[in-house]
Amino acid sequence: MPTISGASLFTRDSFPGQRVPFHALTFDKAGICTSPESRDDAIAAIRADGTTDLVVYSHGWNNDWEAAQSLYTRTIDGFGAMAAAWPEKLPEGMKPAFLGIAWPSAAFLWPWEHGPDLAAQSDPEAPDDLAILTEGMDPERAQGLRNLVSGREEIHASELLRLAELLAPQFDGAAPEEGGAASGATADELVRMFRDASSIGKETQGGEDDFGSIGTPPAEGPDAAGVFTDVFGLRKVLRMATVLKMKDRAGLVGRYGMADTLSHLLAETHVRIHLVGHSYGAMLLMSAVAVRALPRRVTSVLLLQPAVNNLAFATDVGTGQPGGFRPAIDRVEKPILATRSNNDFPLRHIFHLVVRRGRDRGEVALAATPGKWNAMGGYGVHGVAPREVTRVVLPDPGQPYPKPGPHRIVELDGSNKIGSHSDVTRDHVYWAIIENLS
């Protein structure tokens, strides 16, 4: 994480006739803001500069600071260029600023987190990565895990239960996620996750969203996934556990440090706040909005290929409980915009095989139909009340967005425009930001 200080890191000559200040805040793995002075400086600068609108952007999984900063600067330049092309779209006198969030999201890296993200490491024993899975673990258990995986590239099927038993306590007692219930994981659930997700096929060196070529789908039945192989790639298995770990971390940062930061911004300034979250960044920001009552409402939210459950805004997730993000609907002035794409490989084919702990109900859905464990960025928004959501094709630049009417959520189908999970630095996205700024 970078050392952040000063009122802003830099400015960009991107908005018509203005220099846009770029502020940044850092958070640690416990969710604590590690740059509180910078937060205070940013609030003071927003008041002193007469800032009218603040775009707050959170990156997703497996971004280091350089990658996140690249994403943010391209976004500032992109929506600035869009504003120059369509000046009539924005209110007169608008003075924007940008706040980039940096949280420790890098772990065992997946091939689909390329582009602006970190390149995949090749050492299955990478100590920093394994440390993520052993954080806070009992020393004896941690040593047992290291003994089991050290110096190996594969793990036998007969050893999966032992691996799962060592890892499962790491997910006990985690704070509530989208489903509104505790996000623990039993050893049996982890074994099933390891087996089912491994059935996707061998990893390849294909495009940026290739997790691997899709093999024959599992046959029906509770133990069908076990027929595929007796040997599993160890790094692939550990990455699956890290999916859960990093999802919990994004929620932790949101519920604590980001929620506190958002409350300060809303209480101590009159600026309109526009939240933008990509992938697990959507988890982070929506957790911040949903966890507590706010001093006033956030102006807008744009969720880009959100790696969250498709029932996050549901009236009932199937357990008699509402989705954990449902309170956010009433805490945002404008309808929440959320993109989805059939081209998002991990959110269409992997997410529902991995992120499915006890809080989720239903069978794994391998077909392209809504399932209770599917990702919002791959399958859209489900389970909301009638007329709460409207579904439209992601508008091209210059094309008007639908009138909100009673709808509180707008699902944006980007299947013909968003080509992969990380394909979010494009004009269609910048136009969506301009829509929310208008």
Mind listing the pLDDT tens digit for each residue in 406-438?
Answer: 899 999 999 999 999 999 999 999 999 999 999
Q: What's residue 200's pLDDT?
A: 58
Residue 212 confidence (pLDDT) above 50? no
**Phi and psi dihedrals of 7, rounded to 5?**
-65, -35
Residue 5 confidence (pLDDT) above 80? no
Q: What's residue 194's pLDDT?
A: 83
Span of 30-44, 126-140, 265-279 with lowest mean pLDDT: 126-140
Rounded mean pLDDT of 52-64? Answer: 91
Q: What's residue 50's pLDDT?
A: 93
Q: What's residue 80's pLDDT?
A: 94
Q: Which residue has the higher pLDDT, 361 or 165?
A: 165
Rounded mean pLDDT of 54-81? Answer: 91
Rounded mean pLDDT of 197-217? Answer: 39
- The percent of residues in the chain predicted with pLDDT above 70, rounded, is 79
Q: Provide the β-strand partners of residue 12.
A: 20
User: For the segment 270-300, what is each residue's pLDDT rounded down to a tens digit?
Assistant: 999 999 999 999 999 999 999 999 999 999 9
Residue 39's Cβ-side half-sphere holds a number of Cα atoms within 13 Å equal to 22
Q: What's residue 188's pLDDT?
A: 85
Q: What's residue 177's pLDDT?
A: 47
Q: What's residue 233's pLDDT?
A: 82
> Taking a C-beta distance cutoff of 8 angstroms, is the pair 398, 86 a contact?
yes
Q: Which among 426, 366, 360, 21 has a CA at the least distance from the CA of 177?
A: 360
One-character DSSP codes across 272-333 = EEEEEEETHHHHHHHHHHHSS--SS-BSEEEEES--SBTTTT-S--SSS---TTGGGGGGBS
Residue 2 confidence (pLDDT) above 70? no
Q: What's residue 211's pLDDT?
A: 30
Q: Which among 335, 427, 299, 375 has a CA at the least distance from the CA of 61?
A: 375
User: For the segment 332-365, what is each residue's pLDDT rounded down to a tens digit?
Assistant: 999 999 999 999 988 887 787 777 665 433 223 3
Q: Which residue has the higher pLDDT, 304 or 237?
A: 304
**What's the whole-model pTM score?**
0.83
On average, the pLDDT of the chain sits at: 80
User: For the segment 358-367, what is each residue's pLDDT rounded down to a tens digit?
Assistant: 543 322 333 3
Rounded mean pLDDT of 239-252? Answer: 83
* Structural domains of the chain, with CATH: 10-107+248-341+376-437 (3.40.50)
Q: Which residue has the higher pLDDT, 241 or 24?
A: 24
Residue 129 confidence (pLDDT) above 80? no
Rounded mean pLDDT of 15-35? Answer: 91
